[in-house]
Structure 1
């Protein structure tokens, strides 16, 4: 007879992790938690919510307990929706805001790149944020392109604009 699956202790390898400074990690947190709850055969709606709070960052536990959906008469799915709404917005699908892309662009425009590796980090980070914003109709494609160019240090920006089609990137 096999032993029942036991949920790992908080902070242990394999325990779900949510970092409030990176709200996009919340969806992975709940995906991991849901898998573990299923493996452990935990069916009680209240127990599921209690485990979610148990794995929540210490600074967030009181907030999560204060949600109306944490009450005994509410479902775990209602609770998850309320937590996701708190960190990711109404639909829980848009992970980034215009502020995120502006911060990234301004940071790299000011500091520049000391290597091609740093440029690649900027490019990947930018693409993740910009693609999410375009997908959710917060940014148009041409705005995305303008923001990307704005993130380049001035000498590189000028060289890039000299080689880009003018109709796409004018008015930077």
Structure 2
């Protein structure tokens, strides 16, 4: 006999946060693990369990999906639920708008510590590597965007250090992200 699924408040219960739509992928992966561990095999039981762990508003919404009805499989239900959250699409995980938001926000609040620099750099490369892989951004655009995330005073110091290290660098060409990161880390 299969063991019952954990309650929604259990520490091993899967979590979907509608404010963070990208958590939906992990939510369904975690549900899949639970189904295997608890031997849940019937599509209707899987769909009911998928609703068990989400906020009530999400539960109400997902119940309105035609794919929630008995004649549809759990797989078609998952596909329909994902369509409600466009940010979940693998092709749209990050956008140029996300990059603009990040660099604008960082230019506004500034990079004051190594921790700030590290946080900016990690999020920046996460977004830009995705955009480059999808051919939505060039390396040249990536380099220029990274520079734009620094406030003027710090950028002046960074560019001065880079000019000293690479005196033959063309003035109209952005420095490589890694070079800017290293110079900023040195100065902070």
TM-score range, shorter chain: 0.7 to 0.9
Structure 1 segment 112-123 matched on structure 2, within 5 A? 112-123=110-121
Equivalent position SS for 1:69: helix
Asked if the contact 2:99/2:127 (under 8 Å) is kept, the reply is: yes
Could you tell me which residue of structure 1 aligns to residue 16 of structure 2? Answer: 18
Q: Counterparts of 1:90 and 1:15 in 2: how far apart (Å)?
A: 21
8 A contact 1:46–1:76 mirrored in 2: yes
Q: What is the CA deviation profile of residues 122-152 of structure 1, one whole-angstrom value per residue up to 9, with x for unaligned ones? A: 1111122222222223222222222221111
**Corresponding residue for 1:156?**
154
1:139 is aligned to 137
Deviation at 1:89, TM superposition (A): 5.3
- TM superposition shift of 1:110: 0.3
Tell me whether 1:124 sits opposite 2:129 in the alignment. Answer: no
Matched position secondary structure for 2:25: helix
CA gap of 1:36–1:129, structure 2 versus 1, over 3 A, is same
2: CA distance between counterparts of 1:66 and 1:142?
46
Identify unmatched segments of 5+ residues in structure 2.
164-168, 176-188
* In 2: Cα distance, 1:149 partner to 1:59 partner: 42
- For residue 117 of structure 1, report the CA deviation from its aligned partner: 0.6
After superposition, the CA RMSD in angstroms is 2.4
Corresponding residue SS for 1:22: coil
Q: How does 1:4-153 map to 2 (within 5 A)?
A: 4-88=2-86, 91-153=89-151
Is the 1:94–1:132 contact (alpha carbons within 8 Å) kept by the matching residues of 2?
no
Question: CA offset at residue 121 of structure 1?
Answer: 0.8
Query: Is the 1:94–1:133 contact (alpha carbons within 8 Å) kept by the matching residues of 2?
Result: no
Gapped runs of 5+ residues in structure 1?
Answer: none
How far did 1:30 drift?
A: 0.9
